[in-house]
Amino acid sequence: MIHLRGRTSDVLVDVSTGAPTIVHWGAPIDRLGDIDDLTAVIERPLVHGSADVVGPLPVVPEHGSGHTGRPGLLGHRRRGTAWAPRFAAPIDGVGYELDGNRLVVHSRDEIAGLDLDVTFELDHTLLVWAELTNTSTDERYLLDALTITLPVPQHAGELGSFAGRWTREFHPVRIPWSHGAHTTENRRGRTSHEHPPLVFAGTPDFGEWRGSVWGAHLAWSGNHTIFAERLPDGRRYVQLGELLHPGELSLEPGASYRTPEVIAVHSDRGLTPATQQFHRHLRARTTHPTSARPVLVNTWEAVYFDHDLDTLRTLADRAARVGIERFVLDDGWFGSRRDDRSGLGDWEVSTDAHPNGLSPLIEHVQGLGMDFGIWVEPEMVNPDSELYRAHPEWALTTDGYEPVLSRHQLALDLARSEAFEHVLGQLDALLSDHDIAYVKWDMNRDHIGGSNADGAAGTHAQTSATYRLIDELRSRHPGVEIESCSSGGARIDHEILRRTERVWTSDCNDALERQTIQRGASMLIPPELMGAHVGPERSHTTGRRHDLAFRAATALFGHLGVEWNLLSLDDTELDALAEVIALHQRLRPLLHGGDAVRFDTEPAYVAHGVYATDRSEAIVSFATIATAISLTPPPLLLPGLDPDRTYRVERLRLPGERGGAGRTEPRWCSAGAHVTGLMLATIGIQPPAMHPDTAVLIRLTS
Ligand code: DGJ
């Protein structure tokens, strides 16, 4: 039994079970007593009507050992053999290696000719991954699935999942988990809008600050499956892994497959403390951006494909005037890309759109004190492009079938070395020939029926090749930051974030929608990585109108940007936007360095904020997103501050916001108030009476 101690949770692993078994994942156990006693009191009894063993539930559960739920390893050899492997500690080798909080457990099935190594790392989060090796000398192993199984306690009777689609990503949903299994399967070839690879299990009615929560994320940007099952004997587990198409992976003799990392969090104090561990995990990575996140302007909704140097220069002038720090030139600068029907794949500056190249614009932008960013979509090709005309065979399609187009485009088979080298060469030249600080890396179509050169499913190889392409480009251009975009938020996961500094959270810049989208996304990523733009008054994707204060209050918390045709603003509007940007820049160290928090309230409201890590200050947003059942919002409880500290509470007004008429505002909004953290956690603070589509910002200082 190996005891791993993390920052907030402990894990107890039984290494005597072949594939290792997590016996405890949760609260620190040092104070609970002796491990022998602990395992004695939680040992499961045999039940009538079942096998004479309690079916073990290791990290890779085995049908052959008595697990009647979904096995962790699915595969076989040519004649259907080796389909129910059973792993044991290697007789002639080391069973496990322990190095601090990293444990690697080796196991072997001599009969099936397979080795299984499972690695655990416990710090802020629990990381688990497995590697399977085909030890046969002459037979390949056809792998259908290798997933990671994490047991959760029997009292975790509710699941937290997400529903999404384009422009409506990360909507949290709750699912009662009484019996049977809940599955999500993603076959879109990207992380997806629909099913972020993230699941929570918790005690019934777990909240942001109440209940026990276990969360797991699959760090992978391709297809995936998430399975949460309650077995008939009452045990529960979540299982996460890559979803492989039929025949997609076969292991030649000696070859291995390593699963993506499963990143897991736990808290007995609710969802917010649990998800903060995902943030800490990302922040601890060496690639995490440490410089202040530059406020950017993105040209997409300002000009779309209509690139004109004078217009873009004026846009840059106005951006600089309002305090913007980065100018990002979106789609439309290359090849024949005057609309979305052609040009993808031809990563050379269009002389049509930019007759003198990009330098006049870049120099202008830099002269104004901003750095320059550019949009690319390197994994794609339009059939109407020079590249496709020269190399139709490089597209990820299946011979003999008419390919399904999506946004008039196809994916390029980056697993083909010629295609990979070609795209790498073009991107490398783009970054070498221009002074570019930032790349918005887009990916705008699902993989549908895409086969590699041998006619086999190509998503696994494509996902790995995309990682390699970004990694190679980063090593050649180490200073360049990359944003992960995929028709908005279809590629948001911790593996893409190993090699990117920002995600484009959604193509929806409607503040009302963004309140929920960003709340959901904050369950996986911290605010400084979350692209959030102030869009135009009338949202391009929903047609709704919102005043600047609501749009600003919504975007303020993330990596702020502006996606609005600044040429349409008068001086008063530009001044108001400048005020918002200056406020963000003032608050930025707190917003991007503190602990992101969310609060439970009624469905008509969304409440979230950021607490300084030392709890000396905070900023909280309370937004009304629908008409509420009561005329007055309920008091907002703010748990998790320093109970003994006295905070000055004041309302932070955004441009255009005036004091409430009459007594629609409680006194603290105009006069401020001094209250303790204990009072804020137990009695709370009364928000003003608000109409929908407004937000109040609450500033707490001590
Ligand atoms: C989809 C992205 O999400 C948008 O922000 C924009 O970059 C377009 N692609 C450009 O084609």
Q: Which atom of ligand 1 is nearest to the CA of 330?
A: 7
* Mean pLDDT on 143-153: 98
Strands 438-441 and 481-484, by their bridges, are: parallel
For ligand 1, say whether the CB of 208 is within 6 Å of any of its atoms: no
Whether residue 437 has pLDDT greater than 90: yes
Strands 249-251 and 141-152, by their bridges, are: antiparallel
Q: Which atom of ligand 1 is nearest to the CA of 504?
A: 3
Q: Which of 468, 141, 444 is nearest to 300 (CA)?
A: 444
pLDDT at 11: 96
* Mean pLDDT on 133-150: 98
Best residue among 169, 305, 331, 406 to mutate for probing ligand 1's pocket (most ligand atoms within 8 Å of CB) is 331
Segment among 17-31, 250-264, 266-280, 371-385 with least mean pLDDT: 17-31
Q: Higher model confidence: residue 392 or residue 17?
A: 392
pLDDT at 472: 98
pLDDT at 527: 98
Average pLDDT, the chain: 96
pLDDT at 659: 66
Rounded distance, CA 152 to CA 137, Å? 38
HSE-up (13 A, CA, CB side) for residue 445: 23
| Catalytic site includes residue 52 | no
For ligand 1, atom 1, the nearest C-alpha belongs to 487
pLDDT tens-digit profile of 208-250?
A: 999 999 999 999 999 999 999 999 999 999 999 999 999 999 9
C-alpha distances out from residue 142 to 31, 247, 491, 541, 653, Å: 46, 7, 28, 45, 61
For ligand 1, say whether the CB of 557 is within 6 Å of any of its atoms: no
pLDDT tens-digit profile of 81-130?
A: 999 999 998 877 779 999 999 999 999 999 999 999 999 999 999 999 99
| Tokens of residue 141, six digits | 């192993």
pLDDT at 56: 87
pLDDT tens-digit profile of 496-540?
A: 999 999 999 999 999 999 999 999 999 999 999 999 999 999 999
* Mean pLDDT on 188-194: 98
pLDDT at 368: 98
Q: What domains sit in the chain, N to C, each tagged with a CATH number?
A: 2-283 (2.70.98.60), 296-390+437-447+477-588 (3.20.20.70), 597-701 (2.60.40.1180)
Whether residue 32 has pLDDT greater than 90: no
Whether residue 305 has pLDDT greater than 80: yes
| Catalytic site includes residue 507 | yes
pLDDT at 50: 84
Whether residue 457 has pLDDT greater than 80: yes
Rounded distance, CA 175 to CA 156, Å? 12
For ligand 1, say whether the CB of 333 is within 6 Å of any of its atoms: no
pLDDT tens-digit profile of 103-117?
A: 999 999 999 999 999
For ligand 1, say whether the CB of 504 is within 6 Å of any of its atoms: yes
Whether residue 660 has pLDDT greater than 70: no
For ligand 1, atom 2, the nearest C-alpha belongs to 487
Q: What letter represents residue 465's amino acid?
A: A
Taking the centre of ligand 1 as the mean of its atom positions, its distance from the CA of residue 158, in whole angstroms, is: 36
For ligand 1, atom 10, the nearest C-alpha belongs to 331
Whether residue 587 has pLDDT greater than 90: yes
Whether residue 38 has pLDDT greater than 70: yes
User: E strands along 164-234, which residues?
Assistant: 171-176, 180-186, 198-202, 213-219, 224-230
CA angle 34–36–41, rounded 5-degree value: 95
Where residue 661 falls among pLDDT bands split at 50, 70, 90?
Answer: low
Taking the centre of ligand 1 as the mean of its atom positions, its distance from the CA of residue 274, in whole angstroms, is: 32
pLDDT at 37: 86
Element (H, E) at 512: helix 511-521
C-alpha distances out from residue 558 to 31, 61, 167, 480, 504, Å: 39, 40, 17, 20, 11
Whether residue 663 has pLDDT greater than 80: no
* Mean pLDDT on 124-149: 98
For ligand 1, say whether the CB of 300 is within 6 Å of any of its atoms: yes
Where residue 35 falls among pLDDT bands split at 50, 70, 90?
Answer: confident
Rounded distance, CA 402 to CA 244, Å? 23
CB-based contacts of 129, cutoff 8 Å, min separation 6: 118, 119, 148, 258, 259, 260, 261, 262
Whether residue 662 has pLDDT greater than 80: no
* Mean pLDDT on 185-214: 98
Best residue among 193, 304, 375 to mutate for probing ligand 1's pocket (most ligand atoms within 8 Å of CB) is 375
For ligand 1, say whether the CB of 394 is within 6 Å of any of its atoms: no
Cβ atoms of 184 and 160 closer than 8 Å = no
For ligand 1, say whether the CB of 507 is within 6 Å of any of its atoms: yes
pLDDT tens-digit profile of 324-351?
A: 999 999 999 999 999 999 999 999 999 9
